[in-house]
A and B are shown apart, each in its own frame.
Chain A
């Protein structure tokens, strides 16, 4: 488990900034100054954890350590960063754009489908196209995240069956991809 290099940090933060916007500052600064949260790389996965916990991890041999903290995502061989569904709990409170989906749209989304316009209860007014959006149900429970296909202004003119949000990850993956989600 090691710190991220400059390039890795930049790649990861720019990906997280898609969903969090300026609120990403809250992730790094955090509330507790004495024990701030840090990003750590183990294998090719990035974990978000308290620095005291990260310091303790040095006592464990690298081969013996499986996982520690919350997995945000992983670096691909090409150097890109992929956010995992496990990062949802960290992203959701600080997200920039939110889309509330109706009860009849929850299950289709949790099975990995995209969100159609008819399923969207309400969403932010100023969402541009291809922006990262956190999908929540009408009771504000985070369900996953996606990318807006059209801007919220342009979505007024489209048909109810047209896709509005492309699904990126949803909490259904905890069941669907149980065997691969935590393999390193």
Chain B
């Protein structure tokens, strides 16, 4: 604060000197100065003036907060004490173990596929047999029906004349009773 005041003082003097040297008069009344600002000195006890005390920041662990339920992704948390980076496989043993795992997996898959294919084949065969049996049954039924018709026809040739004679008689009797309509 103090040095600013000091520096402000000599200015008017220099101004006066200038007017003298140049000979031109500058009326003091013409120049309007801004009203002097009131500078309030702050008390030392004011909170802004006092030295800031550093507030202690507590870490989460110190606060002893209850932990929230959260899911930790598997890939994020690395187990401690383990080497960082990729784990290469170049020794024969490591390769052999991976190979054994892969082989077992593939064999299982192929085996299950084969099993399923075999089951499906069995089912298909059973269905085929059933269909064939049904077809044969149908055929035999048809043959039977055909035979019965043939037999009927053969039987009719011998005994039919008698039967027919009887039937014609009965028919004629029935016809005699019936009313008949004739057109001229």
A interface vs B, CB < 8 Å? 2-6, 9-10, 13-14, 17-18, 21-22, 24-25, 28-29, 36, 38, 126, 128-131, 151, 153-154
The 8 Å CB contact of B89, one of A4, A18, A25, A154, is A4
Q: CA–CA, A141 to B102, complex, Å?
A: 28
The 8 Å CB contact of B98, one of A6, A21, A22, is A6
> Any chain A CB within 8 A of the CB of B103?
yes
| Neighbouring A residues of B132 by C-beta, 8 Å | none
Residue pair B105, A2 in contact (C-beta under 8 Å): no
Q: Which 7 pairs from chain A and chain B are nearest by CB?
A: A128-B113, A3-B88, A3-B90, A17-B106, A13-B102, A5-B86, A14-B102
* A–B Cβ pairs within 8 angstroms, 5 of them: A4-B88, A10-B102, A17-B106, A28-B92, A38-B90
Q: A5 and B87 in contact (CB under 8 A), knowing A128-B110, A128-B113? A: yes
Residue pair A9, B106 in contact (C-beta under 8 Å): no
| Neighbouring B residues of A21 by C-beta, 8 Å | 106, 110
CB distance from B104 to the nearest CB of A (A): 10
| Neighbouring A residues of B110 by C-beta, 8 Å | 21, 128, 131
Q: CA–CA, A5 to B83, complex, Å?
A: 14
Grouping DSSP codes into helix (H, G, I), strand (E, B) and loop, the B interface class, with mixed when no group exceeds half, is: helix
Chain B residues with a Cβ closer than 8 Å to the other chain, count: 23
Residue of B nearest to A13 (CB): B102
> Any chain A CB within 8 A of the CB of B136?
no
Residue pair A128, B88 in contact (C-beta under 8 Å): no
> Any chain A CB within 8 A of the CB of B133?
no
| Neighbouring A residues of B92 by C-beta, 8 Å | 28-29, 36
> Any chain A CB within 8 A of the CB of B95?
yes
The 8 Å CB contact of A28, one of B87, B99, B117, B120, is B99
Residue of A nearest to B85 (CB): A5
Residue of B nearest to A11 (CB): B102
CB distance from B79 to the nearest CB of A (A): 15
Residue of A nearest to B94 (CB): A6
Residue pair B90, A10 in contact (C-beta under 8 Å): no
| Neighbouring A residues of B95 by C-beta, 8 Å | 9, 28
Q: A14-B106, A25-B99, A130-B113 are in contact. List 14 more A-B contacts (CB 8 A).
A: A2-B88, A5-B88, A6-B87, A13-B102, A18-B106, A21-B110, A22-B107, A28-B95, A128-B114, A128-B117, A131-B113, A153-B117, A153-B121, A154-B121
Q: CA–CA, A128 to B106, complex, Å?
A: 12
> Any chain A CB within 8 A of the CB of B142?
no
